[in-house]
Chain A
Amino acid sequence: MTPSTSRDPHPAARPATRIDVRLAAVAAEGRPALVTFITAGDPDYDTSLAILNGLPAAGADVIELGMPFSDPMAEGPPIQASTLRALNAGQTMLRTLDMVRAFRAHDAATPIVLMGYYNPIYIYGVDRFLADAKAAGVDGLIVVDLPPEEDEELCIPALAAGVNFIRLATPTTDDKRLPAVLANTSGFVYYVSILGITGTASADASRVGDAVARIKRHTDLPVMVGFGVKTREHARSMGAEADGVVVGSALVNAVRDSLDAEGRATAATVGAVTALVADLAVGVREAHVAA
């Protein structure tokens, strides 16, 4: 079987996923999508589930749920700290999948993408992971340390299981390499707008626009831009250059800032995150997609 590609000659043969349906609907509204990242289990399971449940109403179009890993090599201090809080609170892969199942029980439409590193999936077992993730209601995967050179590990089995495999494209991914990066990508393309780790610098919107245009010459998939999107203003300016924006570090920092002196959740924690998401949602709605 040929895996689905970004230039699928027979799109009708491949059933649309929740991601495809949602992003098409957002595009029809003429605005960029808001993709929100939180770490599963941060600062504890119950609070994290409450945040997750609150994201769609606050304005999140797609949810990325971080699978905590002890060694998050591409993350800056905010997501490193968030990961540690989750692991210290006892988060495991089983609990992350439980969290998706609990969310799916009342939300059948908002796409969930699990994001993280390969080792916890490898140790869980790839086939078992894909079966359990699919059954829990997961729509896509982003695995930072699986470049196309390692596609047989998880990407090809995920596509066969009907789970989108979303790839990162970066400023170092040149035109020669882009086709290889996009070949087995589905759902959307995540453009990492800076050279560096999450939660640090912000890119300049005009350069992002050029980069997105370059990627779009190679694919029909929507392109989301992330790394350094922190405010409503970023959401508006970056959003105008792409099909959507990804916000992560700013949200986990909102969690951090709401905690008490012992690092426990407070009555303000869930609201701190959903209020920021609501503000960012205004930003993407102010961005009129150029074209």
Chain B
Amino acid sequence: MAGATAKLNSYRTGPDERGHFGSFGGRFVAETLMPLILELEAAYTEAKADPAFHAELADLHTHYVGRPSPMYYAERLTEHLREKAGGKGGAKIYFKRDELNHTGSHKINNCLGQILLAKRMGKTRIIAETGAGQHGVASATVCARFGFPCEVYMGATDVERQAPNVFRMKLLGAEVHPVTAGHGTLKDAMNEALRDWVTNVESTYYLIGTAAGPHPYPAMVRDFQSIIGTEARAQILEMEGRLPDAIVACVGGGSNAIGLFHPFLDDETVAIYGVEAGGHGLDVYNGHAASLTGGRPGVLHGNRTYLLQDADGQILEGHSISAGLDYPGIGPEHSWLKDSGRVTYVPATDREALEAFQLLTRTEGIIPALEPAHALAHVARLAPTMDRDQIIVMNLCGRGDKDVFTVGKLLGFDL
């Protein structure tokens, strides 16, 4: 039950057969889509039980994506934060390096799983929505690899601020549809993708990029992303001989975060932090994208979850420096993990993320995407409050190549 304070035997059993995580999740879709959602659920259940499906996915992970992604001890960053703490505290910081995946982010993990499913279901056309373009690029990539036509819906505002990714998608053979409805960001792209799907249900597979939407998407995307946490758990046990004291990930829709968190949910000693886009600050109306810490439950895009909305139930656009976090909702499992108290969600502002972006670049020679820069901003706050022998694992879920123009502009460079 959402909001229950009693401790559960396991946090890893959801959702129920109707797609509910406590009171969150569900299947709030138009009737036209409902039979398709049920068909997808049946196909996924069947695939999950098929060793051949897992074997094909594992082979692609190894030879196409480059998994397992490394676990990296960020020694210079750790030392830098220890100095800031006055030499007293300062946890050891590790990065799960999913930014080294083929296509530059964790998004490929999910896209490979879903494209194999689309193939099994006999679908002939793939559609996807994208915000920062990372999921669009990953979708276009797997479509090229498996020979599917691919159409990507992307908000017109995002098309402009993520031009390098738009070009990548086009190179990969995808058709990119700029969406001008609303404010032209991720939520509007998702509306438009749903409209396409309603119109082309029979031929089309909708490759949702985050752990949100109607059941079974939140559970399915989580399952495909859980390889992050499964690997991370084994790697840190191997390297340190014990579990971490804290794990940290950024949350927009929440797919990289649920992928890291899920395998650790029943490890009681591991503190878990999800970092939301605080934008200009939570006190600025419609100036952030922190659905959990600055929104309230509602129903959008097929699920009940925390949403940014006004008093009349109209959805707000939100704001973040990062196109990938600029979404007014959040995966329903995160809503449940918040209310159950298992995961702590905190915001990081645009400014904090930008500082963290530069910090990592200079101390470790790694240019992160603006999305995990939010997670890093919280790591920079958290590490100095912890002991030197404690361990933090953060998911570095994307690389920053796509963001250098945005950051350059903000820092006053003429590119």
The residue on B at minimum CB distance from A75 is: B195
Residues of chain B contacted by A291 (CB below 8 angstroms):
none
Whether A119 and B309, one on each chain, are in contact in the complex, defined by CB atoms closer than 8 angstroms, is yes
The residue on B at minimum CB distance from A93 is: B312
Q: Chain A contact residues: over half helix, strand or loop, or mixed?
A: loop
Q: Is B18 close to A, CB under 8 A?
A: yes
Whether A150 and B27, one on each chain, are in contact in the complex, defined by CB atoms closer than 8 angstroms, is yes
Residues of chain A contacted by B312 (CB below 8 angstroms):
92-93, 120, 123-124
* Known A-B contacts A195-B198, A195-B202, A197-B199; A147 and B27 likewise in contact (beta carbons under 8 Å): yes
CB distance from B309 to the nearest CB of A (A): 7
Whether A119 and B300, one on each chain, are in contact in the complex, defined by CB atoms closer than 8 angstroms, is yes
Q: Is B268 close to A, CB under 8 A?
A: no
Instruction: From B18, B28, B194, B311, name the one whose CB has the most chain A CB atoms within 10 angstroms.
Output: B28
CB distance from A41 to the nearest CB of B (A): 12
Q: Is B13 close to A, CB under 8 A?
A: no
Docked pose: A168 CA to B182 CA in angstroms: 26
Residues of chain B contacted by A39 (CB below 8 angstroms):
none
Residues of chain A contacted by B35 (CB below 8 angstroms):
172-174, 177
Instruction: From B35, B311, B312, name the one whose CB has the most chain A CB atoms within 10 angstroms.
Output: B312
Q: Chain B contact residues: over half helix, strand or loop, or mixed?
A: mixed
Docked pose: A240 CA to B167 CA in angstroms: 51
| Complex interface bits, A80-112 against B, C-beta within 8 A gives 1, otherwise 0 | 100000010000110000000000000000000
Docked pose: A150 CA to B30 CA in angstroms: 11
Q: Which of A119, A120, A172 contacts B32 (CB 8 A)?
A: A172
Q: Which of B30-87 contact A (CB under 8 A)?
A: 30-36
Q: Which of A80, A119, A181 contacts B181 (CB 8 A)?
A: A80
Residues of chain A contacted by B29 (CB below 8 angstroms):
145, 147
Docked pose: A169 CA to B35 CA in angstroms: 11
Whether B31 and A120, one on each chain, are in contact in the complex, defined by CB atoms closer than 8 angstroms, is no
* Known A-B contacts A71-B187, A150-B28, A172-B36; A118 and B299 likewise in contact (beta carbons under 8 Å): yes
* Known A-B contacts A123-B298, A170-B32; A195 and B201 likewise in contact (beta carbons under 8 Å): yes
Docked pose: A169 CA to B194 CA in angstroms: 18
| Complex interface bits, A51-86 against B, C-beta within 8 A gives 1, otherwise 0 | 000000000000000001111111010001000000
- Counting contact residues on chain B (CB < 8 A from A), the size range is 35 or more
Residues of chain A contacted by B300 (CB below 8 angstroms):
71, 119
Q: Which of A87, A118, A173 contacts B31 (CB 8 A)?
A: A173
Docked pose: A169 CA to B304 CA in angstroms: 23
Q: Is B382 close to A, CB under 8 A?
A: no
Residues of chain A contacted by B30 (CB below 8 angstroms):
73-74, 144-145, 147, 168, 170
Whether B187 and A93, one on each chain, are in contact in the complex, defined by CB atoms closer than 8 angstroms, is no
CB distance from B166 to the nearest CB of A (A): 23
CB distance from B299 to the nearest CB of A (A): 5
Residues of chain B contacted by A200 (CB below 8 angstroms):
199
Q: Which of B187-222 contact A (CB under 8 A)?
A: 187, 191, 194-195, 198-202
Since A120-B314, A124-B313, A181-B31 are in contact, a sample of 8 more A-B pairs with Cβ atoms closer than 8 Å, ordered by chain A residue number, is A73-B198, A74-B195, A93-B312, A146-B28, A150-B26, A150-B27, A173-B31, A195-B32
Q: 9 closest Cβ contacts across the A-B interface?
A: A123-B313, A120-B313, A196-B199, A70-B314, A170-B32, A145-B28, A147-B34, A119-B313, A70-B315
25 CB contacts below 8 A, A to B, read A71-B182, A73-B195, A73-B198, A80-B181, A87-B314, A92-B312, A120-B314, A122-B298, A123-B312, A147-B27, A147-B28, A147-B31, A147-B34, A149-B18, A168-B32, A169-B31, A170-B31, A170-B32, A172-B33, A172-B34, A172-B36, A173-B34, A192-B32, A196-B199, A197-B199
Chain A residues proximal to chain B, CB less than 8 Å: 68-74, 76, 80, 87, 92-93, 117-124, 144-147, 149-150, 167-174, 177, 181, 192, 195-197, 200
